Homo-oligomer: A and B are copies of this chain.
């Protein structure tokens, strides 16, 4: 009864950590297909079957990478909103979006793993969703600050948005407009970033950074009920 996490457990956790580190290195270098039980084992000087003591299958290892990547992306974007001194809401929205895009450009293979490679194959685990929602909650808070109250009658879409907000732990009383803009901001940003990573904008000779900047400004203007700048 030395420690609650026994020494054995500690070295085991250390091994798991190293497996994931080496896996991320291989992932970043050559994409998810390069993360094989054999390649990871070789990278750590272990025989491949030894990894099965830690992950029941290659798929489980990849899922662990997904959860970690989601958590990293979520905490990175959430941290971008918490500056000292605090920024006003529009600046925070811009920073959150920048952080999302920058993370995706810094780790394009990880971003592809999260949002592309596994599309329609395996659905996200609750852990993964919770990780990325850290950033979403910050975004929603900023949007709520500048979203003008809407006297509109609530549509079915609004109702489902409110339910979603409650489900992810947003504070009560969120405006449906803020919730909708949160979803649309995320969706637009994802579209831009995934096309940018694929090289589409570069092939078109367009500056993706400028496209992203104007797109985010549009979201902010819409929250304020102002006309987007053309």
Contact = CB atoms under 8 A, between A and B. Distances in A.
A3 B198 CA distance: 43
A130 interface: no
Given A184-B211, A190-B191, A119 B123 contact: no
Interface string A191-223: 110110111100111110011001100100010
Interface in A119-167: 119-121, 123-124, 129, 150, 152, 156-157, 160-161, 163-164, 167
A171 to B, nearest CB: 18
A35 interface: no
A1 interface: no
Contact of A157 (B109, B206, B226, B230): B206
Contacts of A117: 116-117
Quickly give the copy total for this chain.
2
A58 interface: no
A31 interface: yes
Contact of A191 (B116, B129, B191, B230): B191
Contacts of A227: 225-227
A198 B191 CA distance: 13
Nearest to A208: B187
A228 B219 CA distance: 11
A136 B62 CA distance: 36
B190 A194 contact: yes
Contacts of A119: 108, 112, 116, 194, 197-198
A198 B115 contact: yes
Contacts of A226: 227
26 contacts: A31-B120, A108-B120, A109-B120, A115-B194, A116-B117, A116-B194, A118-B198, A119-B194, A119-B197, A120-B197, A120-B198, A150-B230, A152-B230, A160-B204, A160-B205, A160-B207, A161-B206, A164-B205, A167-B204, A184-B211, A187-B192, A187-B211, A188-B188, A190-B191, A190-B194, A222-B230
